Amino acid sequence: MSVRCERFDRQITIFGAEGQARIRAAKVVLVGYGGLGTFVLPQLCLLGVKSLAVIEYETFSATNRNRYFGFLHSDYDAEKGVGIDKVFVAERIVKGIDPEISIKLIRNRLESPEAFEAVIGADVVVGCLDCDGARAILNELCVAYGVTYIDLASEVFDDGTFGGRIAVVKDGSGCLQCMGDGLDQTEIRRYLTDEQQLENEAKVYGVDKRILSVGSGPSVVDLNGIIASLGVQEFKLLLTSPGLQSRYLNYRGHLKTISKVEVRPAGDCYCCGLYRKEDSADVWRYLTK
């Protein structure tokens, strides 16, 4: 047995050489390299994904140290208050696992031509985003161009409960807007609004504008690891055993439960109606954000 075949031998016995070949051939784009993304990326590499792109524009910060897998203490200079670009760590992780993996680093926002082109050219997109505003854009883009989209989300709620979910958007039969609990429309609106409009809204409510700004909530390493692994499992099943793959999973950590949510096509969903309309869906309008 060759070294290359031997590397994947223990998983080929699970889903076969044909399944392994499909994983190797898949072009995968990871959107967001934070608490979830840092757990997803190495698992994709270990499974055998050969072609990857990572979209992330932020740098590593001191508050990331509690949950980011693969980052070194030296990746953040506390004295200068400056951290390494996250995409460079992504490249370091990938090449450390397999130097032959092709990885494209896109140090830009999702709402950029380079990021949009990468998503459109992918077989599977894995979203590890912090807010529903960016999710809504990625959801619409993937639906319009017929790209399978696996979205991951973890959350710690105000009452101390915690969990997350994995949603698979494909085939124009259900998207993030109409599956499960849907997306937070207020968060989407605030994400897409300009600074002046946000400031005006803050004045109406008599609050600081920063309270209305989209940001990250509480997060912890083990929760991110669980959601990321469940997401990678659905990716694996999607390519190797589609009959076993789920469209929507809810994880409730405080209850120790994982539940499968049945997905039924919503005939009145505007976003699902954009399926494979490509350029005529006008998703590129978001680039002016």
Q: What is the mean pLDDT of the chain?
A: 90
Q: What is the pTM of this model?
A: 0.91
C-alpha 90/C-alpha 74 separation (Å) is 15
pLDDT of residue 282: 96
Residue, of 167 and 65, whose pLDDT is higher: 167
pLDDT of residue 254: 93
pLDDT of residue 1: 41
Q: What is the DSSP letter of 243?
A: G
> How many beta carbons lie within 10 A of that of residue 219, not counting itself?
20
- Quick one: average pLDDT of 155-161? 84
pLDDT of residue 69: 84
Name the architecture of domain 3-262.
3-Layer(aba) Sandwich (3.40)
- Quick one: average pLDDT of 221-229? 94
By the 10 Å C-beta count (0-12 exposed, 13-18 middle, 19+ buried), 84 is classed as: middle
C-alpha 206/C-alpha 41 separation (Å) is 42
pLDDT of residue 140: 98
Residue burial 228-253, b: 16+ Cβ < 10 Å; e: rest = bebbbbbbbbbbbeeeebbbbbbbeb
pLDDT of residue 72: 84
Domain borders along the chain are: 3-262
